[in-house]
Structure 1
């Protein structure tokens, strides 16, 4: 279970294990997108969420409800932040790396929302249980995805 929750041990890297977990999620997401595009990334995000929830529940029964080495939640949140990149690349029929600004904004915005914990992110985190551990990153990922879409619209002149 520790292997799953720490994303193959990445969560034990110091400092800032959450950032390391988010960074490690990027090349894995890239591979997933190359293999099956947006829909595979979406499906695996759901699967990893469920597996991560079970692992987090098991590992936090006693003691700290959100140890810093549990980063499987960051992986799911980071993948969600990349949904616009995966979907956009598939929709436009371009190589996913060509949407590199979306990769950068998805990463930076996800980390920002995950650390800052505004509004619903903070409310989910305040639950103090395994679902809260997972949900705050899911919501941070959704926020990052939405802001990335807005930024892409501004950059491409759609929202001007």
Structure 2
């Protein structure tokens, strides 16, 4: 939820992802002794925020665009959690790594995969809507 206000400020969202990712990478080996304990959540924060990059409103000043963006954020959360739990392909590969690479990497890639799905869906929807008119 902390990332939702950043939807209207893409540069701030990218900066926040960078800060959280660097802090998480640094802390991952130290706090959890290289294991991805359930109490370590900074990796999920970073991954979820990555998925929000595909949910940015087309017009941050248009309330309808912002509402659509919030709806997409719910989808982003669901997709991120699906990829984080099921661990397909590269998510599973990174999850098996020890240390910061495994702790942070699997969630960041799950976020990228969720963002990719949302971006693809938005492109298809835009194409379908434009071909009707």
Residue aligning to 1:119: 89
State the Cα distance separating 1:158 from its structure 2 match. 6.0
SS state at 2:3 partner: helix
Residue aligning to 1:60: 32
Matched, 1:145 2:115: yes
TM-score (norm 1): 0.71
Name the count of aligned residue pairs.
127
How many Å separate the matches in 2 of 1:126 and 1:150?
A: 28
Cα–Cα, structure 1 residues 68 and 81, in superposed 2: closer, same or farther, change >3 Å? same
Single out whichever of 68-77 and 51-60 deviates more from structure 2.
51-60
State the Cα distance separating 1:101 from its structure 2 match. 2.8
How many Å separate the matches in 2 of 1:143 and 1:150?
A: 11
Structure 1 residues not aligned, in runs of 5+: 1-25
TM-score (norm 2): 0.85
CA RMSD of aligned residues (A): 2.0
Contact kept in structure 1, 2:4 and 2:70, CA below 8 Å? no
Structure 2 residues not aligned, in runs of 5+: none
